[in-house]
A and B are shown apart, each in its own frame.
Chain A
Amino acid sequence: MAKQDMKKDVAVPALGFVGMIRWAWAQLTSMRTALFLLLLLAVAAVPGSVFPQRAVNPEQVAAYLTNKPVLGEWLDRFQLFDVFSSAWFSAIYILLFISLIGCILPRIKKHAKALRTPPPRTPSRLNRLPENGTFKIQSATESGITDEQIVNDAAMLLKKRGYRVQARPEGAVPSVGAERGYSREIGNLLFHVSLVGILASVAVGGSFGYGGQRVLVEGETFVNSLVSYDSFKPGTWFNEESLIPYSVKLDKFNITFDRESTTHFGQPIDFTAEVETRRSPEAPTQKETIRVNHPLRINGADVYLVGNGYAPVVTVKDGEGNVAFSGPVVSVPQDGMYMSVLVIKAPDAKPDQLGFQGFLLPTAMTDETGFAISGDPNAINPQLQLNSFYGNLGLDDGNPQNVYVLDTDKLTKLNDRKLDSGGIVLGAGQTYELPDGKGSISFDGLKRFIGVDINYDPSKRPVAIFAGLALLGLAISLFTPRRRAWVKIKNSVDESGREERIIEYGLLARGEDPRLESEAKELRKLLEQQWPAVERAGV
């Protein structure tokens, strides 16, 4: 009605403020708007796959901004690197969900009413329905069955087939009205409500969660507290006290590589981390494993295996003969053969601080051009190839430093392939004396490390539940046929004065219903079983 007014009368204010709001609401909650917003949502998601996204690949976004600064800045201005948290994407889905709520609330009300309403009244002419039929049965005097009995039996019969029925024995033409498929609308509503549930769970649940990363070398223990994380990202409403102090110790990490295939030789086929866990400081230790696709579930948090590599164990002695550094050093794999880069810092070395950078080769070999390479991902012949430095490591100015990067600004080179001293080449168990009595470095052994993501997301369970309900609702809604059926009894007297009794039935589909025809056949069969059809009496 409001729409009509709008067309005739351009002066919008004539509608009044309340009228305007009503009109806007009616527009927003119309099917047309829902459809439009849905399609808009699909279109709006696409740039999220075209441009790198900060939430997924922050490095790629940074690289994009350096490579194409002008275009990048414009893209950034339109939040194209943050599509799924952007103002415009949010606007679309928030409008869509408002529209959705505005749409389902009245439908719930209407359907609640429909559930209490009896099936629709019997049409006067069933032969107009898409499926219908008649057959003659024995008359009341012949069989002694009353109309009321027939009506009640027919109602029972329809009820058994899932119809909701109303027997209408009164009147000249006794009949049964039946309808089935109310669950179609219930399924549809369940589906749409569950969508709201998913969105709400994501929004609320997610903000109580947190995520973090940690590198663990064999033998090391992670205790769940803020200081133990290498990096940590809290949700909006995260509270530090919610961290339960469980612990995870990495005993051993195993990798299996493909040793049979000629085409995929050396491809990893299994990663397993053997860990010892404690649910709380007092709890007993448990032996568990973490594998790809099989995270460790501990106190509501999940620990995922996301990376691995070698951590050579080294000891650095300084110029005074004291141990300046000793322990495993995490190296970063560069290729499938685990050729890895590493940096060693010995800030406690005296008189000068010492630093090293170079490679670990798990299976050292020389290729045809004379370069040192790793020939196998397993540590068959591990070797360290390092350059060394002395001077100021730059750790004292208080700025946080990346442990994987050696800042060589204030350092002097000691060993390098290009220097007379040459590079350091160390096999397992070997020690190298640094030039000028600066100290020594020894390669004591090799351990493996794993990188884990630790994640606590309280939205998981509610999202899973709502998703399950949505799927259920969807299936119910799409596969429940909605039908109406009527059965009538017509008593009359034919030309020869004989009593006649005719059963008439008709079916009507509401919406798409390919099986209406077979339903009609089945119904006729059942009706005829109940009251056998008779030939015309006396013929």
Chain B
Amino acid sequence: MGNELPTINVALGQYSDLFMLLAAFVYAAAFIAFAWDMAKSSKLIREIEASTLAAETKVLVAAGVGKSTTVKSTPVGEELVNDSMDYVPASEKRMAAKIAVSLTWLGVLMHGFAVVSRAIAAGRVPWGNMYEFLSTGSFIVALVFVVVLLKKDLRFMGTFVIGLVTVMLCGATMGFPTPVAHLVPALQSYWLIIHVSIAVAASALFTISFAMNVLQLVQHARVDAIAAGKADKFPFMGVVPSAGALENFAYRINAVAFVMWTFTVMAGAIWAEAAWGRYWGWDTKEVWSFVIWVVYAGYLHARATGGWTGARSAWLSIIGYLCLVFNFTIVNIYFNGLHSYAGL
């Protein structure tokens, strides 16, 4: 009949479940380590400040009183992070961050094993229901994060990214536990592989740029406050690059993710044409994918529109991401439509 389905390996599926849970615990530990690093960084920054202050004083003394110098014009934390987000020597001291990254790697390995073994157990790609969207999606987020970490010092985002991964994975294992099963006929298509994998990868990138845009806004507000002579309310933001650097980095990620999202929507249309007889029918999920696409198109436009760069376009990126999350959670769970494959 041309459609032999593989047998399901129940035992392997149970191992997969176990490793998902273990990975969630390891991520939780990594999250704590990242948070600890942030707290410690505030102290480290103060120390560096104190030592540079001492150095400055020495220079001033040596240069003779009265002669004005501009020894230190760099903002606080410059020693720990720079705007191209490369690793800098001073950050070697961040023990907690190192532990956090190691734990994250451990989590990613276990998580990867869990995802792959689930795929093998089911004999198909592991994204056919809500549990799998969440568990595989969070794996991609974590994987992208650790891979970028190899080259760029994005540890300042660890608390956020790994926090989110932990929440997603816990959501999968506790909120939507689903045993391994075959796909319903509507999902038996190679478009499932293409459409959903690109959607998940794009979402992972949007997640990272979202985090950067949020930090950008916080950094912006903080720098403004400091410039206005107020106290530094978030000294840990010293390990975070400048608002401008965050904005540019987020833009680059968003651009890649936007192209992927465009492809996702188009692949979805091709699949819909094969499955439902029309390429676009304003099904709930299609409406939201469209809204997300338009909001991010607005974001890209804003970056080229006078008066809309900086904080304003960051807000658009954040709104786009909230739409993405809404589409993935509320729409999957509460809105009915043709895309009701959440397995609920």
Residues in chain A within 8 A of chain B (CB atoms) = 31-32, 34-35, 38-39, 41-42, 45-46, 48-49, 53, 55-56, 83-84, 211, 254, 256, 258, 260-261, 263-264, 267-272, 291-295, 302, 304, 306, 453, 455, 457, 460, 463-464, 467-468, 470-471, 474-475, 478-479, 512, 514
Contact = CB atoms under 8 A, between A and B. Distances in A.
Interface in B1-28: 1-3, 5, 7-8
A35 B182 contact: no
A509 B217 CA distance: 26
A292 B279 CA distance: 15
B185 A35 contact: no
A512 B251 contact: yes
Contacts of A268: 184-185
Contacts of B270: 464
Given A270-B185, A514-B252, A254 B1 contact: yes
B13 to A, nearest CB: 10
Residue among A261, A292, A306, A512 with max Cβ neighbours from chain B (10 Å) = A292
B1 A293 contact: no
B282 A56 contact: yes
Contacts of B271: 293
A433 to B, nearest CB: 42
A173 B182 CA distance: 73
Interface of A is mostly: mixed
Nearest to A302: B277
Interface stretch (B30-38, B46-54, B103-111, B297-305): B297-305
A463 B256 CA distance: 23
Contacts of B252: 512, 514
A180 B241 CA distance: 31
B282 A35 contact: no
B300 to A, nearest CB: 8
20 contacts: A32-B305, A35-B298, A48-B282, A49-B288, A55-B282, A260-B7, A261-B182, A263-B179, A267-B181, A270-B1, A292-B185, A293-B185, A293-B189, A294-B274, A304-B276, A306-B277, A471-B263, A474-B262, A512-B252, A514-B252
B259 A471 contact: yes
B281 to A, nearest CB: 6
A211 B291 contact: no
A46 B137 CA distance: 25
B211 interface: no
A200 to B, nearest CB: 15
B278 interface: yes
B279 A460 contact: yes
Given A38-B294, A56-B283, A292-B186, A264 B262 contact: no
B81 to A, nearest CB: 17
A256 B1 contact: yes
Interface of B: 1-3, 5, 7-8, 179, 181-186, 188-189, 191, 248, 251-252, 255-256, 258-259, 262-263, 266, 269-271, 273-279, 281-284, 287-288, 290-291, 294-295, 297-298, 300-302, 304-308, 316, 323, 331, 335
Contacts of A84: 282
Given A45-B291, A464-B270, A267 B182 contact: yes
A455 B191 CA distance: 21
B294 to A, nearest CB: 4
Contact of B269 (A46, A455, A467): A467
A302 B275 CA distance: 11
Contacts of B189: 293
B287 A45 contact: yes
Contacts, number: 143
Given A56-B282, A268-B184, A292-B185, A45 B294 contact: yes
A435 to B, nearest CB: 45
A237 to B, nearest CB: 18
Nearest to B297: A38
Contact of A264 (B3, B182, B284, B294): B182
Contacts of A460: 273, 279
A297 to B, nearest CB: 10
B301 A31 contact: yes
Given A31-B306, A35-B308, A256 B273 contact: no
A56 B185 contact: no
A49 B298 contact: no
Nearest to B185: A292
Given A272-B3, A514-B252, 6 more contacts: A35-B305, A55-B282, A264-B182, A293-B186, A293-B189, A474-B262
A261 B7 CA distance: 10
A211 B185 contact: no
A38 B298 contact: yes
Contacts of A294: 274
A480 B331 CA distance: 36
Contacts of A302: 273, 277
Given A292-B188, A293-B188, A293-B274, A261 B8 contact: yes
Given A42-B294, A455-B278, A467 B7 contact: no
Contacts of A211: 277
Contact of B185 (A38, A269, A468): A269
A31 B277 contact: no
A478 B288 CA distance: 24
Nearest to B275: A293
Contacts of B304: 31
Residue among A258, A293, A455, A468 with max Cβ neighbours from chain B (10 Å) = A293
Nearest to A53: B282
Contacts of B278: 455, 457
A34 B302 CA distance: 10
A260 B287 contact: no
Contact of A455 (B185, B258, B277, B295): B277
Contacts of B248: 512, 514
A295 B276 CA distance: 9
Contacts of A261: 8, 179, 181-182
Contact of A271 (B179, B185, B277, B282): B185
B1 A272 contact: yes
A133 to B, nearest CB: 19
B184 to A, nearest CB: 7
B203 to A, nearest CB: 18
Contacts of B273: 302, 460
Q: Which 10 A-B pairs have the closest CB atoms?
A: A49-B287, A292-B185, A42-B294, A304-B277, A293-B189, A264-B181, A31-B305, A38-B298, A478-B255, A49-B284
A264 B187 CA distance: 15
A460 B255 CA distance: 28
Nearest to A46: B291
Contact of A42 (B3, B188, B291): B291
A293 B1 CA distance: 16
Contacts of B305: 31-32, 35
A323 B273 CA distance: 45
Contacts of A267: 181-182, 184
A509 B323 CA distance: 33
B282 A269 contact: no
Nearest to B248: A512
Given A211-B277, A260-B7, A267-B181, A35 B302 contact: yes
Contacts of A453: 277
A293 B275 CA distance: 4
Nearest to B7: A260
Given A263-B181, A272-B3, A292-B185, A49 B276 contact: no
Given A38-B298, A45-B287, A514-B252, A295 B277 contact: yes
Nearest to A31: B305
